[in-house]
Amino acid sequence: MHCLAAAGAATPQLGNLFPLWSVVPFVAMLLAIAVLPLVIGKHWEPNLNKAMLSALLGAPVAIWTATLEPAAVVHAGGEYLAFILLLGALFVISGGIVIRGTLAGTPGENAIVLGIGAVLASIIGTTGASMLLIRPLVRANSIRMRKAHVFVFFIFIVANGGACSRRWVTRPCSSDSSAASRSPGLCGCGRSGSSPTAPC
């Protein structure tokens, strides 16, 4: 057992095998998403062009990673497929829910929608809350001249930060030692000595 642990510790981590400049494709993708819609908007709109750019930047990284650790590419592909299936399911479910009302897109009503979205994100997830509320928010602000900031706040609060408002359940991790288990904590909280997969 100790031999296996020592062998695992001696094996270099995948991230340590990449040089610093290997982040260039990721930075290039972020810059493309930020700049190209403003510079060549008409050419950026078709999804085929976005897919081609993604393949151009992502394929070399995937091939390089496969030469270092093929299992990592297979694992990442499985996670990507699961994420796409999740998005598809959320799109179908939220597409069947229509929220009607007389929202006028005023600052107060927008703030209420953002607050509801932050709470919903803690219950049904950030992606589900975003897909559920984005269309009512777009309709409510359709008559406003300046509305880009509303959706920026929506992305920050609902799509990203909403899950931070989730209340952490304080129960001891079952795999902790007796001294550590006397102090309340969250299973998988990352505390020293706790197991991320320990059942509560």
Q: What is the mean pLDDT of residues 63-70?
A: 85
pLDDT of res. 91: 78
**What secondary structure does DSSP assign to the chain, as a single string?**
-HHHHHHHHHSPPGGGGS-GGGGHHHHHHHHHHHHHHHHSHHHHSSHHHHHHHHHHHHHHHHHHHHHH-HHHHHHHHHHHHHHHHHHHHHHHHHHT----------HHHHHHHHHHHHHHHHHH-HHHHHHHHHHHHHHHTTT-S--HHHHHHHIIIIIISGGGGSPPP----TTS-HHHHTS---TTS--TT--TT---
- Residue bearing the bigger pLDDT, 54 or 17: 54
What is the average pLDDT score of the chain? 75
pLDDT in tens, 151-180: 888 988 888 876 665 544 444 444 444 444
pLDDT tens per residue across span 83-139: 889 888 877 877 777 777 777 778 888 888 889 888 888 888 888 888 888 888 888
